[in-house]
Amino acid sequence: MRKINYLQALNEAMHEEMERDERVFLLGEDVAWNMLGSSGGLVERFGKERVRNTPIAEAGFVGAAAGAAMVGMRPVVDMLMAPFLYCAMDQVVSIIAKSTYLYGGQAKLPLVIRAAMFYSAGYAAQHSDRPYPMFMTVPGLKIISPSSPFDAKGLLKSAIRDDDPVMCFEDGTLWTGTAEVPEEEYLIPLGRAEVKREGSDVTVVAVAGAVQHALVAADQLAEDGVSAEVVDPRTLAPLDRETILASVAKTGRAVVVDPAHETCSAASEIAAIIAEEGFWNLQAPVRRVTTPQTHIPFSPPLEQPLYPNPSRIVDAARGLMT
C-alpha cells in the first residue's frame, strides 16, 4: 500500500470532502497559501470563495463559521495554531458549543475547527499549547485527536460529515512520518477508541502524539516480558469509556499518557474514569504520564524533558508490575 504523511492525509480528506459536498468550505489565516502544508492544491481546485483567506481576527472568523453553519453551510476553520483559539474562546464556548442546546434544538452547527499543535519544536510558551483538555470541559463539543496519517484522514472526513461542531487537534510531532493509507475511501467513526496493540499485563491509554511513544514503549516492555496493550481514544469527547474499561478489566493495570499539562488533562479524566468505574479490576494504582505544570520553555534542554516519551512510559509501567 502507498505511504503518505499526516499533512497529506489531512489534505486528501479536505479534497475528498470538498469534492463530495459543495457546502464544505475552508477558512482561516493563509489557507490559500498552504502555510501549514495541509491545504495544498485546494484553492487551485475549488477557488477563493471556498478556500477563503481571513483577516487575523479569530473571534470574527470563528464566529462567522458558526453563522454560516447555522444557515446550512459546512465550514472547516483552520486556526493555524491551537493557542490562537483563545482569541476566539467566547465564540467557541458561548456560541458554537451552546447554540444547539440553548435554543432547544432549533440550531444545528455542522462545522469543524482544526487546530495544529506545534510543541516540542522551540516555539516557547505562547505557541506550544496542547489545549484540548480545556475544551473537553465544555459540553456540546466533539473533539478528535488523530495519532496517525490513517486516523487523521478517516477522522477528519467523519468530522466534516458530522452534524455537530467538532474540534480536530492536529499534533505537529506526527507530521513528518509516513504510514500506509489506502487510496480507496474510508471513514473512522467518531466516539470509538482503537486498541492499537494488544497486550495482557498493562493498559497504556495514550492521546495524540503520545500514541507513537506508547507503541515504542510497548516494544521495549515486551523485551522485559511485559505485555502492554495500547489504547488510543481517538475521540476525546465524548470518550469511549467502554473500550478503555474493557482493556483495564483485562490487564488490571493502567498508565495514561497525554502531552497536555497534567492538571485536568485528558489523562486526568481518563484516570478518574478508570479509578471510579474500573477500580475493582485494578491490581495497582493508575499512573499518569503527562507534561508537568510549568510553561513550555524555549531552550531545547529545558523543553525536551518535559513531554511524555517512551522511557517515562516504560518506567511508569514497570512501576506497576512489582
Partner 1 sequence: MDPTPDQLVEMYRRMVRIRSFEEAATKLLLGGEVPGGLHTSIGQEAEIVGACMALRTDDYMVGNHRSHGHPIGKGAEVGRLFAELLGKVTGVNAGKGGSMHLSDFSVGSLGETSIVGSGIPVAAGAALGSKMQGTDRVTLCFFGDGASNEGTFHEGLNLAAIWKLPAIYLCENNGYGELTAASEVVAVKDIAARAAGYDIPGITVDGQDVLAVFEAVTAAVQRARRGEGPSLVEAKTYRYDNHAIGIPIEHYRPQEEIDRWRERDPIKLFEPLLQDRGILDEQGLERIRHEVQAEIEAGLEFARSSAYPDPEDAFEHLFASPLGQPRPPARLADLPGPPG
Sequence-separated (6 or more) residues with CB below 8 Å from residue 319: 287
Write down the least CB distance from residue 156 to partner 1, Å.
Answer: 16
Nearest to 28 by CA among 5, 50, 2: 50
By CB under 8 A, tell whether 60 contacts partner 1. yes
Q: How many residues bind partner 1 (CB under 8 A)?
A: 53
CA-atom Rg of the chain in angstroms: 19
Toward partner 1, which CB reaches closer, 121 or 134?
Answer: 134
Q: What are phi and psi of 256, to 5 degrees?
A: -115, 125
Site for partner 1 in 215-254 (CB under 8 A): 235, 238
Annotated catalytic residue 15: no
Q: How far is the CB of 286 from partner 1 (least distance, A)?
A: 15
**70 counts as binding partner 1 under rule CB under 8 A:** yes
Cell of 276: 471510579
* Residue 105 or 225 having the CB closest to partner 1: 105
Is residue 99 a contact residue for partner 1 (CB under 8 A)? yes
Residue 95 within binding range of partner 1, rule CB under 8 A? yes
Tell which one of 29, 164, 170, 303 touches partner 1 (CB under 8 A): 164
Between CA 247 and CA 251 the distance in angstroms is: 6
Residue 105 CB, nearest approach to partner 1 (Å): 4
Which residue in 15, 127, 213, 261 is the catalytic one? 127
Nearest-angstrom CA–CA distance, 21 and 74: 9
Judged by CB under 8 A, the residue of 17, 162, 229, 232 near partner 1 is 162
Q: Which residue has the cell 475493582?
A: 280
322's grid cell? 512489582
Q: Which stretch binds partner 1 (CB under 8 A): 72-80, 120-128, 263-271, 294-302?
A: 72-80
228-232 and 166-171 beta bridge pairing: unpaired
Q: How far is CA 275 from CA 43, 109, 278, 291, in A?
A: 49, 34, 6, 21
Q: Copy the grid coordinates of residue 10.
A: 489531512
**Encoded amino acid at 78, one letter:** D
Contact 97, 138 (CB under 8 A): yes
Phi and psi (nearest 5°) for 78? -100, 115
Residue span 184-213 as binding mask against partner 1, x where in contact by CB under 8 A, dash where not: ------xx----------------------
Among 1, 2, 44, 72, binds partner 1 (CB under 8 A): 72
Minimum Å distance from CB 232 to partner 1? 16
- Report whether 23 contacts 74 (CB < 8 A): yes
CA distance 196 to 205: 10
Residue number, 122 or 238, with CB nearest to partner 1? 238
Between 93 and 321, CB nearer to partner 1: 93
The three three-digit cell numbers of residue 9, written as one number: 492525509
Minimum distance of partner 1 from residue 247's CB (angstroms): 15
Q: Which residues within the stretch 118-147 sit at the binding site for partner 1 (CB under 8 A)?
A: 139-140, 142
* Cell output for 89: 474562546
- Cβ distance to partner 1 smaller for residue 23 or 197: 23
Which sequence positions are flagged as catalytic? 127
Contacts to partner 1 by CB under 8 A: 25, 49-50, 54-55, 57, 59-73, 75, 90-91, 94-95, 99-110, 139-140, 142, 162-164, 190-191, 235, 238, 276-280
